[in-house]
Amino acid sequence: MSQTAGKLKVDFVNGAVGHRLRFGGGRGQALAKAMGLRAGKTPKIVDATAGLGRDSFLLASLGAQVVMIERSAEMHALLADGMDRAFQEGGAFREIVDRMTLLHGDAKDLLPGLNSEAILIDPMHPPRKSSALVKQELRLVREIVGTDDDAADLVRVALDHASKRVVLKWPQKADPIPGIRPWSHQILGKSTRYDVFMVG
């Protein structure tokens, strides 16, 4: 494990993720809306860029089955450890983790073999000028995985294999990723935007 991975921990029970679980806004949150979660509608989700698993955990806490894909061996190990600890915590945490399945590999290779209704893509974006403001945690993730320069290819593969929608999460102020077809609609969060590509 690298020195950086030693400083990072996936913690679904305490901290920001646990807080959001207790006080979050349910299916009205921008991510949930973007993924198509509504009353009576819970799509099968693939999170193609699992990272620290926060988005997957939120979606699973709202009742969705989520298959998570992570290609970095270090991030995958951190995720597996975090899921394990949340499972051991029991109660609601165990129920949520039971809805999450973690895979190791490149989503471009694995998506064709999965049956997904909605695919989430949240690539590591290039550092911006205000990098001092970038959260410490995300800076550490970037030290491990670098920048995901193949995001446009991943979106194209996802569009070929989702039955309902593909959602690209991207900072509101960052330049758009070139080479991707126009989105169907956008959902704007505080600093993040969700470009939703409807399929079929």
Ligand X SMILES: C[S@@+](CC[C@H](N)C(=O)[O-])C[C@H]1O[C@@H](n2cnc3c(N)ncnc32)[C@H](O)[C@@H]1O
Residue nearest to ligand X (CB): 51
Region 75-134 residues binding ligand X, contact defined as CB under 6 A: 75, 106-108, 122-124
Q: C-alpha distances in angstroms, 138 versus 6, 86, 145?
A: 14, 21, 10
**Residue keyed to tokens 């949150």:** 29
Locate all alpha helices (DSSP H) within the chain, ordered by sequence: 3-7, 15-23, 30-35, 54-61, 73-89, 91-98, 107-110, 136-145, 151-161
Region 18-47 residues binding ligand X, contact defined as CB under 6 A: none
Query: Is the CB of 42 or the CB of 69 nearer to ligand X?
Result: 69
Q: At what angle do helices 54-61 and 15-23 cross, to 10 degrees?
A: 20
Query: Is the CB of 39 or the CB of 133 nearer to ligand X?
Result: 133
- Asked if 137 is part of the footprint of ligand X (rule: CB under 6 A), the reply reads no
List the one residue from 67, 68, 154, 166 that touches ligand X (CB under 6 A).
154
Query: Is the CB of 26 or the CB of 40 nearer to ligand X?
Result: 26
The residues that touch ligand X, with contacts defined as CB under 6 A, are 48-49, 51-55, 69-72, 75, 106-108, 122-124, 141, 145, 148, 154
